[in-house]
Amino acid sequence: MYFLLLSVHSAFRWLVVVSVLYGIYRGFRGWFGQRLFTRTDNATRHITATICHTQLLIGYVLYFNSPLIQYFRFHYDEARKQFDLLFFGLIHVILMTIAIILITIGSSASKRMNSDRGKFKTMTIWFLLALLIMLSAIPWPFSPLANRHYFRSF
């Protein structure tokens, strides 16, 4: 089950990145194009937050069941000296949690704004901040922090 969830988590990151990028695109388009905040924009805001929350929940299940993280927790003094273990043991989970909190704040604040321009601006800024954090915390194959394949297989 662990390796299946790991593969799902790895593949689902693409849906997260695409949905956040699409939310930012819709936000910029509406903000600078003086558009109305439509049902599609609202659905984009809501679905993006839902996708991100789902990914975070999968990540938490993996985090608390990962043999790598168990080693990190029980051998912290040794493990923190190995940057790969430190990245997955602390950095990745903390940064991704912060990013999803920013997505949640942006989604919630945008929903409560009175003006359409304010909704777009709020959603865009918060989603953009979250995306920057996410992109730095994803273990890309080219990342100097910790690297993994683009798709993790079973």
Residue 145 has pLDDT above 70, yes or no: no
Angle, helix 2-33 to helix 116-137, in steps of 10 degrees: 140
**How far is 118 from 115, CA to CA, in rounded Å?**
5
81 within 8 A of 98, measured Cβ to Cβ: no
Structure tokens at 102: 């920013």
87 within 8 A of 138, measured Cβ to Cβ: no
111 within 8 A of 126, measured Cβ to Cβ: no
Per-residue pLDDT tens over the stretch 18-48: 999 999 999 999 999 999 999 999 999 999 9
Per-residue pLDDT tens over the stretch 50-86: 999 999 999 999 999 998 889 988 998 998 888 888 8
- pTM to 2 decimals? 0.89
**How far is 44 from 134, CA to CA, in rounded Å?**
18
- Residue among 96, 103, 100 at smallest CA distance from 124: 103
pLDDT band at 152 (very low <50, low <70, confident <90, very high): low
